[in-house]
Amino acid sequence: MSSQKTHADLAEKFNQAAERVSWHDDTLWFVRQKRDNAARGVEDWEQLREIASAIKDNVLSRLHDYLVEFEARAKENGIQVHWARDAAEHNSIVHSIFVKHGVKQAVKSKSMLTEECHLNVYLEQQGIEVIDSDLGERIVQLAGEPPSHIVLPAIHKKKEEVGELFHKHLGSAKGEKDAQVLTETARQHLREVFLSRKIALTGVNFAIAQTGEFVVCTNEGNADMGAHLADVHIACMGIEKIIPKREHLGVFLRLLARSATGQPITTYSSHFKKPRPGQEMHLVLVDNGRSSRLGEESFRNSLKCIRCGACMNTCPVYRRSGGHSYHYAIAGPIGAILAPSLDKKEFADLPFASTLCGSCTHVCPVKINIHEQLYQWRQVLVQDGYVNKGKQLSMQAMKVVLSSPSLFRLSGKAGRKIMNLAPFALNHRLNPWYKQREMPGVPESSFEEWYRKNRK
């Protein structure tokens, strides 16, 4: 494992503010409950999940064909299509469009792909100013932080903190914490930005092979404001966002917002099919490790993800450790699957940041077996030597003990003795398990001994 901070280190930092942890936990659980209510309101919810999963299975089995079909249709529509092998190529394609138009400023709506590619940082290094127009994204941008959640990027921030940021950067009154006033401040600020930017960047939620159009879902209408007012619209999408036909869109739109926030549908589900007269529309299709993930049988169906965030809202570890502890653009259970396939060394800690309770799998609208993949990743990472020596040795020792009944009995006896005679052998600050917990009382006998004695 690399020397950088791990999920455990970063979670410990988040946990220092106990009040924030409880509030983060409660807020996300509230969203999860809204999702449950919304799901219960759809009679054929489980069937809808099955259908979505089957459509995505079909897409993954014929991804090449659908991409080729999509490219041909999109070009016929007048969209300029680009292909990017990785994040660096994606960033340089986007930059070349800015250079071609001699533009140094852009407005951007939310796109997890551009976060994955660190596009904002790259463009800033090239002297281009990018203003995020999603309210949550703008808040974290002003704070100099990455989003901590894929749907609710500033969910870790309190309104008092937002008030401070707006006072510092947007000139609102000191101490202002009224959500409506702060939202109005952001509206006025973003209005200026929308009206003055020549290039708008957006993500893509779904791209339809049959028609060559793409769909962007927002609750604030900010993608539409940016794209409709700018001379150039650049949309960036991961290659897995393809769906075969328009008729499939309804399945995903019904699932997406309900799973994300408990809404029946996102406020704006905008179709972009061709540039308006005089406008240029570019679409960058990005691989960045996706095609190699397609070849990994155990992990390929993580490519079905529609980025609803439901697995994060329900995850007991995510809710109590915060999105930044995952040190990857996509946090939570799905991020912990996607990240190690990009870099096993850097993200080897993430699949272990899970209780494997299965709640993520239970809520996933496209039926990704998330907790099983996390368990699978742990095995791969141990086998490939990406977990620390201490963990490897203790796992080896457990394997020996648990596969021998006599050794298991003996070690149980020894353990009970040690805990009685020298409890400090375990109850000390160097034992990370003990740090947060009371040690259980020592039983007099093992269950086996008790059972033998009491069997009638």
Where along the sequence are the contacts to ligand SF4 (CB under 6 A)? 259, 305-311, 334, 363-366, 368, 370
Question: What DSSP state is assigned to residue 221?
Answer: -
Q: Where are the alpha helices (DSSP H) in 77-111?
A: 87-101
Nearer to ligand SF4, 81 or 363 (CB): 363
Question: How many other C-beta atoms can be found within 10 angstroms of the C-beta atom of residue 432?
Answer: 10
Round to whole Å and give the CA distance between 10 and 16: 10
Nearer to ligand SF4, 370 or 381 (CB): 370
Q: How far is the CB of 453 from ligand SF4 (least distance, A)?
A: 48
Rg (the chain; Cα; Å): 25
Q: How far is the CB of 31 from ligand SF4 (least distance, A)?
A: 12
SS3 state of residue 104: coil
Backbone angles phi, psi at 331, to 5 degrees: -90, -175
Report the amino acid identity of residue 19: E
Helix (H) or strand (E) holding 232: strand 232-238
Round to whole Å and give the CA distance between 366 and 51: 8
Length of the chain: 456
Report the amino acid identity of residue 221: G
Nearer to ligand SF4, 193 or 303 (CB): 303
Tokens of 116: 């994955």
Nearer to ligand SF4, 350 or 366 (CB): 366
Q: Which residues have a Cβ under 8 Å from the Cβ of 35 and sit 6 or more positions away? A: 258, 259, 260, 261, 262, 310, 313, 363
C-alpha 81, offset from chain centre: 26
Number of DSSP helices (H) and strands (E) in the chain, helices first: 22, 10
> Taking a C-beta distance cutoff of 8 angstroms, is the pair 336, 354 a contact?
yes
Nearer to ligand SF4, 59 or 306 (CB): 306
